[in-house]
Amino acid sequence: MNKVTKQQRTGPVIFSQYERGQGIRKAFEIGRENILYELRESKLKGRGGAGFPTSMKWMLAAAAKGNEKFLVCNADEGEPGTFKDRVLLTEYPELLFDGMIIGGFTIGAKQGIVYLRGEYEYMKDNLEEYLEDLRKENLLGSKIMGNENFSFDIEIMLGSGAYVCGEETALIESLEGHRGESRNRPPYPVNTGFNGRPTSVNNVETLCVVPHIVLKGGSWYSKFGTNKSTGTKLFSVSGDCENPGVYELPWGTTINELLVLVGAKETKAVQVGGASGVCIPENQFNRKLAYEDASTGGSIMIFNKDRNMLQVLENFMEFFTEESCGQCTPCRAGNVKLLEGVKMLKSGDYKKEYIDNLKSLAKTMQVASKCGLGQSSPNPFLTILENFSFIT
């Protein structure tokens, strides 16, 4: 197993000092309106990948009609190459649960649910023990910290082992005991979510940032990063480098800077955003990790000169073929076709026109698929073919 280096678990926000309960105390002092104000100032965007502004999501959930509301933590972490939420769940539960309690307080929910990736079952007992401690300290349960107007509890539910269950509407279906399939939107979960009630679904990392923003202010947070991508981000770095692991870095860090930090040598390509992300070749390593440039929910995979990128692509497309839920044709049939194309390219038995048709199919999938899985699964196909010349 790789050792955690000094540069890991250090960072100005998530990996900085925090004592459990601090953020909740401050949240009660400043009240709901000011929490939303600080979140707006921070310009925090959801860290699950889609990058929706968290202040907006919580404002909509707070404004939604109905007494029964839910705050769901998306801990499904199924994107290949992402393992930063695992570190937060095991090493920083105080941040996650304080973030959930603040979220519940802000939107007016009484119940929080952690949708925990099935493969993370081994964490469940520890997390439940932690929740029990919070209840004993009156940080969870009835009238939290003596606040007459706020009671909130958290339950942990195990995920069902499908990648698509990380998509928030499929996750809600799964929570309700159904097959994990995405829903049509609108209506959005903030209005019609778990059991038809207003529900805010937030990524683990997003929730872990909230207590720090509440404590230190939105303008403090927005000083990190770039104008359009404020704050810091956790990156799960894997592949061909000396020090893989989880790093907290400001948005705007270039791929080159990251490669130096993790001790990557002779790098040929970096896959940013996991299997559903984009493949970036060496001549673009000056690009920035940011929503406005190379965006990612956290996964960074490094491939050195010895790697066969067609083999990499075949692995990704096999994954999507397996994980497509089959509801819509562009994704169900499209991923199979793209995988066939990769196999043809590998064998050398292909016609250029056929591969060109597949590229156009990939673009159709990006716009015609029902959910983010089929909309993003063509990304590696298009970028790997574009950046590495396999077609002669």
Ligand X SMILES: Cc1cc2nc3c(=O)[nH]c(=O)nc-3n(C[C@H](O)[C@H](O)[C@H](O)COP(=O)(O)O)c2cc1C
Binding footprint of ligand SF4 on the chain (CB under 6 A) = 164, 182, 324-328, 331-332, 369-371, 373-374
Nearest residue (CB) to ligand X, 26 versus 45: 45
**Least distance in angstroms from the C-beta of 331 to ligand SF4:** 3
- Give the separation between CA 236 and CA 304, rounded to whole angstroms: 17
Nearest residue (CB) to ligand SF4, 133 versus 340: 340
- Tell me the site size for ligand X, rule CB under 6 A: 23
**Least distance in angstroms from the C-beta of 364 to ligand SF4:** 12
- 374 contact, one of ligand SF4, ligand X, none, CB 5-8 Å limit per kind: ligand SF4
Nearest residue (CB) to ligand X, 52 versus 388: 52
Nearest residue (CB) to ligand SF4, 113 versus 371: 371
Residue 163 interacts with ligand X (CB under 6 A): yes or no: yes
Residue 162 interacts with ligand X (CB under 6 A): yes or no: no
Residues 249-308 interacting with ligand X (rule: CB under 6 A): none
Nearest residue (CB) to ligand SF4, 69 versus 183: 183
**Least distance in angstroms from the C-beta of 346 to ligand X:** 26
**Least distance in angstroms from the C-beta of 382 to ligand X:** 17
Residue 229 interacts with ligand X (CB under 6 A): yes or no: no
**Least distance in angstroms from the C-beta of 377 to ligand SF4:** 8
**Least distance in angstroms from the C-beta of 337 to ligand X:** 19
Residue 230 interacts with ligand X (CB under 6 A): yes or no: no
Among 4, 30, 50, 260, binds ligand X (CB under 6 A): 50
Residue 378 interacts with ligand X (CB under 6 A): yes or no: no
User: 46 φ, ψ to 5°?
Assistant: -55, 135
Q: Which residues contact 186 (CB under 8 A, 6 or more apart)?
A: none
Contact 249, 296 (CB under 8 A): no
**Least distance in angstroms from the C-beta of 228 to ligand SF4:** 27
Nearest residue (CB) to ligand X, 48 versus 252: 48
Contact 159, 117 (CB under 8 A): yes
Q: Which stretch binds ligand X (CB under 6 A): 46-54, 349-357, 361-369, 378-386?
A: 46-54
Among 199, 203, 232, 267, binds ligand X (CB under 6 A): 203
Residue 168 interacts with ligand X (CB under 6 A): yes or no: yes
Residue 12 interacts with ligand X (CB under 6 A): yes or no: no
Among 281, 372, 387, 390, binds ligand X (CB under 6 A): 372
User: 65 φ, ψ to 5°?
Assistant: -75, 145
Residue 74 interacts with ligand X (CB under 6 A): yes or no: yes
Residue 8 interacts with ligand X (CB under 6 A): yes or no: no
Q: Which stretch binds ligand X (CB under 6 A): 44-52, 347-355, 358-366, 378-386?
A: 44-52
**Least distance in angstroms from the C-beta of 320 to ligand SF4:** 8
Q: Which residues contact 362 (CB under 8 A, 6 or more apart)?
A: 334, 338, 378, 381, 382
Q: Over the range 287-301, which residues count as b (16 or more CB within 10 Å of their CB) and which as e?
A: bbbbbebbbbbbbbb
Q: By the criterion CB under 6 A, which residues form the site for ligand X?
A: 46-50, 52, 74, 76-79, 163-164, 166-168, 201-203, 206, 371-373
